[in-house]
Amino acid sequence: RKSTCEAARLVLAAAVEAGAPEDIIGWIDEPSLELSNAVMHHPDINLILATGGPGMVKAAYSSGKPAIGVGAGNTPAVIDECADIKRAVASILMSKTFDNGVVCASEQSAIVVDAVYDAVRDRFAHHGGHILSAAEADAVRKVLLVDGHLNADIVGQSAHTIAAMAGIAVPATTKVLIGEVTDIADAEPFAHEKLSPTLALYRAADFQDACDKAAALVALGGIGHTSVLYTDQDQQGGRIRQFGAVMKTARILINTPSSQGGIGDLYNFRLAPSLTLGCGSWGGNSISENVGPQHLINKKTVAKRAENMLWHKLPKSIYFRRGILPFALEELRGKKRCLIVTDRFLFENGYVAETVRILKNLGLEVETFFEVAADPTLAVVRKGLSLANAFQPDVILALGGGSPMDAAKIMWVMYEAPEVAFEDLALRFMDIRKRIYTFPKLGVKAQLVAVPTTSGTGSEVTPFAVVTDERTGTKYPIADYELTPSMAIIDANLVMDMPKGLTAAGGIDAVTHALEAYVSVIANEYTDGQALQALKLLKGHLPSAYINGAKDPKARELVHNGATLAGIAFANAFLGVCHSMAHKLGAEFHLPHGIANALLIANVIRYNAADIPTKQTAFSQYDRPKGVARYAEVARHLELGGSRDHERVEKLI
């Protein structure tokens, strides 16, 4: 108490001399629980830093003030057979005599493996440690604790003084009183924090037993504080990791005197210098590190508004024009095996045969999985995956509409990274580039080539896939840029015979893609042009493609290209509530996705085209509601007429 007050006086004098306020530091000359409690509840107190027993820390946390409390220690030091015994013993003796053991990080017990126990014991005895006899140990036990609590009279006293208090005689040069004990229990005084140059000495059968004993001692009274291991730190990394995994302490010191090592910046440079050591939630504290000035100051952060980094990601290669399929597939020359993923209709009606012929002429072995149906399920994906695992392709070629491409993408992930769990792939996110689950790197074992035979989904250029859990009926939209195909082949000859219904559904799907990408909060200079061009192509040629089909091959081609452009736009700007609801509507009533979009898009436009929306989506570059203006821009681009923005929106609808 007197030393603490005198230290405070010295620091105050130095602070005032340096220009600090005269009352910057204060103290209580005669401390009591009542005075401490009054100070903690005083209205001028802004923060409490509580160093003391559990009662003091609890009182601080219960004061209603911001508080940083630290816990009690009961540091065990394990010495294994690989340790430098001379250094270990010298370190512990030095630590225990520093401030006569009052530092809360000081060793309270040494746990020595049987192989070196006698050598360590003898080393302690020869260098100032007094190994207590059984009778002497009993005498010391009586002065260590009083009524189950630490005896305040021994705190900070020398080993010689404590021995005298216990009625035993030891040399005046004795550094530490060492009791050989076996029990780790409340009833064993040596097993507790003693804040004096007294030490428990335990024998352990082996390293595992030593770790178990150390963990038990920490749990008894020093959880969260400090533990020590003496071993060969250069050769015994495994033991260090094992010890670290077992110990519930914030400070795990290796080959270090714990009093000096725990307070930091002397025997290691990982711990901040401090005599106030947090124990984390283990010890009922708010922090687990050494308390420093950074914990006692308020920080102001001035953060200027900044926009997210945006991106424009595409397949490495996109090939387009009628009749280019055989030329584009030349890119696969040199590959060994190709797995085609398609649906039964395309397989049985000859649409796959030409692709198989081209691939075989290029020297590839070909296997075909043709069991994909609309709204592909996890069961179908896993069946295709089994074929892929057996065939070991270095190319996966998705041929068909959105369903084969969706199935192929998920198969690709599971083929490349069999350890992934679908549940992880389906985790939601706010920013696709900052998702919790990191997708595996794809393209290591196989390329994914996407060849659309419908015009609408845009899946051939997007990082999205939709798969249904057949057990629950739940549709999972999976999104990550790793899912972007390696190559997309946009050959309009493959869509010439699309039926009218599919042409309409796919066309409206593509229109919705472009519209939602253009009004997205992530829309940008790169996606805007593709969305608008897609809408221009679709407006100009979708009616003829629907009415005339293969009789107007140019319209078919431009609609096909428009659908892919819309895919590129929404791959990078994303979609909105129309598509979100369309997935739910389609899953519930088994509607084609394009039809579900068609049923919703007009009302979605009206909903989005609000001058004062109920809520604005949070995204840094989207600084104000723009729905009306963006839809009006689309109407102007498509030359739909109208003199005012709201009129243009109605023309668009």
Token look-up 């030490």 returns 199
**What are the tokens at 170?**
């030891």
250 contacts 224 by C-beta, under 8 angstroms: yes
411 contacts 396 by C-beta, under 8 angstroms: yes
Distance, CA of 569 to chain centre: 30
Rounded alpha-carbon distances, angstroms, from residue 412 to 441, 444, 482, 487, 644: 11, 10, 10, 14, 49
Annotated catalytic residue within 104, 211, 279, 338: 104
Strands (E), 152-287: 176-180, 198-204, 224-230, 249-254
Question: What's the CA angle centered on 398, arms 397 and 399, to 5 degrees?
Answer: 110
Distance between CA 59 and CA 56 in Å, rounded? Answer: 5
Q: Please report the DSSP string for 514-570 in residue order.
A: HHHHHHSTT--HHHHHHHHHHHHHHHHHHHHHHHHGGG-HHHHHHHHHHHHHHHHHH
Distance between CA 633 and CA 626 in Å, rounded? Answer: 11
| Closest to 343 (Cα-Cα) out of 313, 368, 370 | 370
Which residues share a beta bridge with 113?
204
Maximum alpha-carbon separation in the chain? 114
Count Cβ atoms below 10 Å from residue 611 Cβ, excluding itself.
10
* Terminal alpha carbon distance of the chain: 82
Report the half-sphere exposure of 122 (CA within 13 A, side-chain side): 4
46 contacts 66 by C-beta, under 8 angstroms: yes
**What are the tokens at 533?**
């061009």
Report the half-sphere exposure of 97 (CA within 13 A, side-chain side): 16
Which strand (E) or helix (H) includes residue 61? helix 54-61
The radius of gyration of the chain from alpha carbons, rounded to an integer in Å, stands at: 37
Which residues share a beta bridge with 490?
320
Instruction: Assess whether 104 carries a catalytic annotation.
Output: yes
Which strand (E) or helix (H) includes residue 629? helix 627-637
Distance between CA 231 and CA 88 in Å, rounded? Answer: 9
Pairing of strands 447-452, 395-400: parallel
Q: What are the residue numbers of the active site?
A: 104
